[in-house]
Each structure stands twice: as C-alpha cells, then as structure tokens.
Chains A and B, each alone.
Chain A
Amino acid sequence: MEPILQVKDLSISFTQYGRGTRQVLLPVIQDLSLTIRPGQVVAVVGSSGSGKSLLAHGILGILPYNSHMAGEITFLGQPLTPKRAEAVRGTEIVLVPQGVTYLDPLMKVGPQIRKGRRDQKARQASRTALKRYGLGEEVESLYPFELSGGMARRVLIATAAAETPKLVIADEPTPGLDARSAQRVLGHFRELADGGAGVLLITHDLELALTIADRVAVFYAGETVEEADAADFTAGKLRHPYTRALWNALPQNGFVPIPGAQPGPGEVGKGCPFAPRCPKQRPECLSPVSYRELEGGLVRCLYPEGEMV
C-alpha cells in the first residue's frame, strides 16, 4: 500500500545570533526518516527538549521563520511542498495539539469544532463528531474552561476528526490524564487509524505509546536512535542502549536512572549523541554512527543490545 507519509533524511535547524553579527546554525533534528502507511499508528517517543514537536511543525509547514528544513517529505506520493502543506493543513493533515490552550478560551465548543461555519451540515457534523467521542450535545455550549482535561482532549480530537483527515498528527496528547482517560484518548487515535488514516503519535510516554502503536521510533537529542515494531518493545527486544536505559527506569522494572541529561541543540558532537551516558561507549563511538537495519528494525549504535561483539 502506498504510504501516507514518507519522511526522508529530514533535518531542521535554527539560526541563532552569537556574539556580534556571527550566525550559528543550531541543528535540532538530524536525518530523521519515517514511513506511515494507511491504518498505522507510528509513535515517535522522545523526552521534552528532544526536538520531537518540531517534527510535527515541519510536516505541517509551520516552522518559525528562522528555521531551515532539509530532506524530503512525501504525502500520498507527492512532495509536500510548503504550498501544498498549507492547502491540506486542517483538512487532509490535521494536528491534535499538545496543549488545550489551543482551544480558543472565549469561544464555545460547538463553534470551535465547526470552525465558525453555521450551516446545517456543519452543525450535524459537529454533533456526530462529539457523539463519536462520547460527548453530549450540551458540550457544544460550554466554554473550554468548563471542560475537564479528558473532555478537552476529546474536543480537540473531535475537532480534528470532523474533517476526515488522511494523516493525524497527535502531539503529546495525554499528559495529566488519568490512566483510564489516557487510554480512552489513545483508543480514539487507534480508531482513526483502523478507519484508514495514518497516525503520527508524538509522545514522551513509551509505555502508553506501546499500547496503541504499530511502530515506534525512539528519539534522542534530535536523532532517531531506534525504530522497530511495537511488539519488539513489549517483548523486551530492545536494540539501542538508550532504549534499554528507558526500560530499566520504569517504576515496575528497576526504577534505575542512568546519570546525566540529554544534550541540547548545539551540545551534540560528531559521534553518537548518547555516548557520554552510555555504559558501552568506546572510542569509535565518537565518530559518526550510521542508522542501520537490525532484525526487522533500525538502530543507530555500533554495539546494539543483543548483538554479540
């Protein structure tokens, strides 16, 4: 099946002004590749500050003016140029944003979902959308502040789904929700995928991602370090030492933290970005490490887990 979205060697960087008039280019995302097919939920898992939200903005063509993007993005077989991105944004490609602050605080829910349209058809569509997400008609006349966190998320999804999108990008859709509400919100993304859409789920929560994703890409310091079927992760088959460290830090596993912090943009050297924290680091890790296939997945590591050296 033709992929809905294909991202190839995407890099995003920002121009910053250093001392005087010197300009520095800060790379935030490097060589990211990703494919989403119809019916698939692909999760990009990374901590805050890893640059993962910019991926969404890059696809949607809404990066800030001082940014530069390189690489290829293909949507339904055609290059996704900035012009095309603008044309399909909000209809064929929708974003379910991170914060409920995206809801206009002064506008009732109904008009927000209808995006200001007032005709009968739009009204019908917004009711159907709300109902689908377990929200009654009365929600239409509420203001955002009157919604609980879980309801607000569902309103955001309803707003996105009302357009029957081909690609849904969900940016950190669950923080602050209790386990039940989070599961329910994620279930809705699963349904959208089962209905034939592609879903890109951007999250910091590996565990939650694993409950609905088909494929998972782990993001560290602007680079994808591992990509594999979700089933591999749940079976404990991990490829990259960083993913292993995430796994061991789960409260129900060891709850063992590794020291240090993820480097920020501009703090990454030429070699493996995880090297300063990696227990398996060797001198050769300080040279560029390529992204390679390993048993049905991809890994950016010279000495991956499970591979004998």
Chain B
Amino acid sequence: MSLEAKQLTFGYRGKNRKRVLESVDLTVAHGERLGLAGPSGRGKTTLCKLLSGFEAPDGGTVLVDGKPLRDYRGICPVQMIWQHPETAVDPLMKLGDTLREGGPVEEELLEALHIQPAWLERYPAELSGGELQRFCIARALRPGVQYLLCDEITAMLDLITQAQIWTFLLEQVERRDLGLVIVSHNAPLLERLCTRIQDLDK
C-alpha cells in the first residue's frame, strides 16, 4: 500500500514551455516520511500538485494504494498543505464554511491545533500566517486522508511554532499511519523528520 508516481512528466503551458518534471518516479508507503530535497526550480511543488491531483500530468500516472488517483471520487486521499496558507483558502469565505465544505472535522483536532472556535467566524485575512497554517493543517487531516504532502509549510514560521506544528503532525501521522512527503529547503529539518530523503536532482 503506497502512493506511487510512475514516470511523471509535466510542463506548464506558456510561451517558453519547459519541462518541469521529466519521468519522475517516487514511492511513499504508509508510515513512511519521505523528504524531497534539491534547489528551487526543480519541480518539487509541481510534483506535489500532481500527486494531490491539483494538476494532471502530461505523461505518467499517480497510483494511490494501487488505484489511479483520477479514479477517486469525493475527498482526495492525498492532501496537500501549502507554503502560503493565504493562497490555499478562499479569501471571501468564512473559515468555518471553508472547513465544512470538506466534510466533518473532529473537535479534538481543532483543539489540539489551538484553533479557537471564534476563528471559524472570521475571514482568512483576519488571522496571522501561523494561525491560518494551523487551520489548513486541520483541514488537510480530515477523515479519509491517507497521504499528506507538506510543501515548505513552516518556512514562514518562527522556530517555536515550527517545532509545535511538526511535533503535532508527526504524532498524527503515526497514529493514523499516514504516508508523508515533506518538501523543505531546511536540511536539518528534513534530517530530523524524514525516514528517507530523495534528491530530485538525481
């Protein structure tokens, strides 16, 4: 049982159309924590978008526990958490509505992430970056999630908040036996968190 990318190829449309990913293979099993390293511009974010169905590959397939990702209906079993949480939510929607859109959320989870009930009545711009990111994590950890992709999710946060978020996430990942993909420029962070590191360069 794993999340598999097979020979993924992708290029953004545009005038200087360039291949961002060329025949990339990747596997993450349940309970595994895979770190993606390598300099900017090597398509790490793009790879996460393909793995979570935000973009469709030009070539290759994404398999979730043996079944093509595009055959899944409803809530995607692969959830992505983005570097800039403000770009990941609808600015015109109250946070509570955004949350309910994806089905029920455990009260416990909100509590553990220190998400105050009052926030749910607010709009994204009324929260700080760290608060909004915690909200996005709660949203990603909905029932049914099997794999979690974290794209530089703590790059904007101070060290203490960063350690708080990862301590919480690791515990969740272990308890639910999720597979985790972590993109980060922070080498010590990857070393601390991951069971395996793959360099997209190679």
Residues of A within 8 A of B (CB): 46-49, 146, 148-150, 175-182, 204, 206, 245-247, 249-252, 255-259, 261-262, 264
Contact = CB atoms under 8 A, between A and B. Distances in A.
A204 B83 CA distance: 15
**Interface extent on B, as a size class?**
20 to 34
Interface string B156-178: 11111111101100000000000
A179 B185 CA distance: 6
Nearest to A252: B188
Given A48-B130, A251-B186, A181 B162 contact: no
A121 B157 CA distance: 42
B160 A251 contact: no
Given A148-B41, A204-B158, A256-B163, A48 B192 contact: no
13 contacts: A46-B158, A47-B158, A48-B157, A49-B130, A148-B41, A175-B156, A206-B159, A249-B159, A251-B192, A252-B188, A257-B162, A258-B160, A264-B128
Among all A-B residue pairs, the 6 with the closest Cβ atoms: A47-B158, A257-B163, A252-B188, A257-B164, A249-B163, A249-B159
Nearest to A181: B40
A58 to B, nearest CB: 20
B157 A204 contact: yes
Nearest to A254: B163
Given A48-B128, A251-B192, A178 B39 contact: yes
B179 to A, nearest CB: 21
A132 B128 CA distance: 36
Interface in B110-127: 114
B67 to A, nearest CB: 34
Contact of B189 (A150, A251, A257, A261): A251
Interface in B131-183: 152, 155-164, 166-167
B42 to A, nearest CB: 9
Contact of A250 (B156, B164, B188, B193): B188
Given A48-B130, A48-B156, A204-B156, A181 B39 contact: yes
Interface string B31-55: 0000000111100000000000000
B11 interface: no
B129 interface: yes
B191 interface: yes
B160 A245 contact: yes
Interface hub of B40, B159, B162, B163 (most chain A Cβ within 10 A): B159
B156 A252 contact: no
Contact of A48 (B129, B160, B166): B129
A246 B159 contact: yes
B93 interface: no
Nearest to A46: B158
Given A48-B156, A148-B40, A261 B163 contact: no
A47 B130 contact: yes
Contacts of A264: 128
Nearest to B44: A178
Contact of A176 (B152, B158, B160, B167): B152
B187 interface: yes
Interface hub of B40, B41, B152, B189 (most chain A Cβ within 10 A): B40
Contacts of A46: 158
Contacts of B185: 177-179, 182
Contact of A180 (B39, B83, B189): B39
